[in-house]
């Protein structure tokens, strides 16, 4: 799937990689958070940029597990609009991305969003979404050092809130298992689906707050 393509922007990727490295203080940080999604649904993985003094071009590769995720589209952040952007799936599980402008953009916000569908019947599986082969350059033709997170997309089967032991019902054993995980995740690991079921307040994390909520449910007090 090609988002936008031109001879100029393809050439830009090669030009960026030839720029000299900038000073250490130009190190740019790309951050991203893990995502939890039910199989068959859409998920968005976003990389945000911070700690930069401006850049006018970047290129990168994105890799993921095509047996778990199906690439749909990609777009740059709102603060990067109005410039040339190119994204294509070059091979199963591999994307090539290039963005370029005539002037530097200094932002601390969303750099790029990538949209996937979690494959139907993918089951309880996890795929990393790794950004690599990153080149960033500024208008002085200096390359910027980049450090990037690798987020994970955790695919779940159908979610039943509170069913931490996944036996099809919600009860005391679910509460015990949830409390054990909240106290020490290594003592009581949860599958992706069990984790989603245990996120009672749907904030993306499993903590003692979820234990309190599930306690109310199990005791008949409601959530």
| 39-53: pLDDT as tens digits | 999 999 999 998 778
* Residue 58: Cβ within 10 Å count: 26
CATH match of 7-156 with 3.40.30.10: no
Percent of the residues in the chain that have a pLDDT greater than 70, as a whole number:
87
* SS3 call for 130: strand
Q: What is the pLDDT of residue 4?
A: 47
Is 183 a residue whose pLDDT tops 70?
A: yes
Q: Are 30 and 22 in contact (CB under 8 A)?
A: no
Q: How confident is the model at residue 176 (pLDDT cuts 50, 70, 90)?
A: very high
Average pLDDT over residues 63-72: 97
Closest CA to 212 of 202, 203, 201: 201
pLDDT category, 222, cuts 50, 70, 90?
low
Task: Determine the Cα–Cα distance for residues 190 and 64; give it in Å rounded to an integer.
Answer: 22
Q: What pLDDT sits at residue 9? A: 45
Q: How much is the average pLDDT of 119-133?
A: 92
- Decide: pTM greater than 0.85: no
The residues, any chain, with a CB within 8 Å of residue 43's CB and separated by 6 or more, are 35, 37, 69, 115, 116, 117, 118, 153
CB-based contacts of 219, cutoff 8 Å, min separation 6: none
Computed over every residue of the chain, the mean pLDDT equals 87
- 3-state helix vs strand vs coil in the chain, percent to 5: 20, 40, 40
- For CATH 2.60.40.680, list the domain ranges present in the chain: 7-156
Confidence of residue 28 (pLDDT cuts 50, 70, 90): confident
Confidence band, pLDDT 50/70/90 cuts, at residue 213: very high
The predicted structure's pLDDT at residue 23: 44
Token pair listed for 35: 């995502």
Q: What are phi and psi of 58, to 5 degrees?
A: -150, 155
CA–CA gap between residue 1 and residue 4 (Å, rounded): 9
């Amino acid at each position: 799937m090609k988002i936008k393509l031109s001879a100029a922007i393809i050439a830009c990727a090669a030009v960026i990689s030839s720029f000299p490295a900038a000073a250490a203080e130009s190190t740019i940080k790309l951050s991203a958070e893990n995502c939890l999604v039910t199989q068959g649904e859409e998920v968005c993985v976003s990389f945000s940029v911070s700690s930069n003094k401006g850049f006018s071009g970047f290129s990168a590769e994105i890799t993921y597990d095509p047996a778990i995720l199906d690439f749909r589209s990609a777009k740059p952040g709102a603060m990067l609009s109005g410039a040339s952007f190119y994204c294509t799936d070059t091979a199963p599980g591999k994307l090539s991305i290039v963005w370029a402008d005539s002037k530097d953009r200094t932002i601390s916000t969303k750099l790029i969003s990538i949209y996937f569908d979690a494959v139907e019947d993918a089951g309880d599986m996890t795929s990393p979404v790794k950004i690599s082969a990153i080149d960033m350059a500024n208008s002085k033709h200096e390359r910027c050092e980049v450090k990037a997170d690798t987020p994970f997309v955790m695919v779940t089967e159908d979610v039943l809130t509170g069913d931490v032991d996944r036996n099809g019902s919600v009860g005391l054993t679910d509460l015990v298992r949830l409390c054990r995980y909240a106290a020490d995740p290594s003592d009581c690991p949860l599958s992706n689906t069990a984790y989603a079921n245990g996120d009672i307040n749907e904030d993306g994390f499993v903590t003692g707050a979820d234990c309190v909520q599930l306690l109310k449910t199990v005791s008949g007090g409601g959530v």
